[in-house]
Amino acid sequence: MATAPAKLILCGEHAVVYGRPAIALPLADIRATATVAPSPAGRGPMIHAPDLGGRWHVAEQPTDPLSRLVITVIERFGLPADVEITIRSAIPIASGMGSGAAIATAIVRELLAYGGQTLPPAEISAIVYESERAYHGTPSGIDNTVVAFEQPIWFQRRPDQPPLIEPIVIGTPLTLVIGDTGVRSPTRLPVGAVRERWQADPARYEALFDQVAKLVVAARTALAEGDAVTLGRLLNTNHELLRDIGVSSAELDYLTTAARSAGALGAKLAGAGWGGVMLALTTSDQAPVIAAALQAAGATTTLVTTIAATG
């Protein structure tokens, strides 16, 4: 069995597609898993995804992104083709938590392990990125990167060269409460809408993206210094900028306001927006209060998670 974690973008989403930096965190306790078992000779690969409500032969659905991923990996690395791949995931779909990247990463890791092979995280990330493109159109590349490397990262796309990927220092553990709006929003929809708005008014959106970039730089410093109060203020500002960019929603605004009213240090939407999840930065003692406030405000699911300090 191979696994891969969920992820959250702490700050910088959307602007990261346009060359600005973002900070992303893996969620080690929320994972997707893949197992591979042999199937009858000549049958070819089959995918069983009970959490996704499906079971299919890859040959019958060759254009499905997961089918294409399986075919690519098997053919590229000469792996056994007569297999049944079972996928399970605790990560909400279309929620901003990287479910697609985590599922794809788990599949790649498990297929390689079944065939007695391994790859470094950078190569797995590159394979998963191609799968992400099938789902999202023009993804930033941050999901596949943070999921494959499984460490907090600074990520920045660069023209005509690989993205800048650096581990970041987290000076003190972070306690986050995640609230799910229950509204599913495929990443490609808000990402595509932002691209249309940017094309129609590039000066305005470039200015917004520059403000996000400045905020992300400040957040990196706050993380390294363990300054949760400053980080919380920056998260609040990031949410307001995302509202200006046009990717928040009434549900996300309501949950972020409820979290702040209950004592959160900061709160923002997390991911592409228009639904999915939000995050609230808090203390470990206050986390149950924040979670209860989010549930009372309509969150369908809440999760308290801790991001460990790094060296």
- For the annotated catalytic residues, the residue numbers are 143
- Residue 160 buriedness (CB in 10 A; 0-12 / 13-18 / 19+): exposed
Count the residues in the chain.
311
Query: In a 3-state reduction of DSSP, which class is residue 294?
Result: helix
Q: Give all strands of the β-sheet with 266-270 in edge-to-edge order.
A: 266-270, 277-282, 174-180, 301-307
Sequence-ordered alpha helix ranges (H) in 78-187: 99-114, 121-136, 142-149
Which residue shows structure tokens 């973002």? Answer: 22
- What does the alpha-carbon distance between residue 156 and residue 141 come to, in Å, rounded to a whole number? 9
Q: Are the C-beta atoms of 160 and 19 separated by less than 8 Å?
A: no
Strand intervals (E) in the chain: 2-11, 22-38, 46-49, 54-57, 83-89, 153-158, 161-167, 174-180, 266-270, 277-282, 301-307
Instruction: Produce one character per residue of 285-301: b if its CB has 16 or more CB atoms within 10 Å, e if not.
Output: ebbebbbebbeebebee
